Amino acid sequence: MTRGKETIFSKIIRGEIPTKRVFESEHVLAFHDVSPQAPVHVLVIPKEALLNLTEADENDEALLGELLRATDRVAEILGVRESGFRVVINNGKDAGQSVDHLHLHVLAGRPLAWPPG
């Protein structure tokens, strides 16, 4: 398992790298992406290092639920809940996962095309 692997997100969680935080709870942190792909682009991450969805098991079910609920809270805070938002999880290299720490992208603020890419 890859739990506990040091990534840039580990440093963000510890406050070593400044971020524009949107939401935080005991287990989850949400902050603006440094390279936004939409007017609203926020990353929602678990504070516990978890590589990706494939690594998650039955012990992570509550955390996964909390991550999804946090995306709704982020959308509410940023005023895009009613107009709509997209939640994306890139799982693995071929899906475009660039940081080895599970993270959800919340994208909004403009009409989003489908399929995404």
Give me the active site residues, please: 103
Alpha-carbon distances of 48 from 18, 70, 83, rounded to whole Å: 18, 15, 31
In this structure, are residues 112 and 82 in contact, taking their beta carbons and an 8 Å threshold? no
57 contact partners, CB below 8 Å, separation of at least 6: none
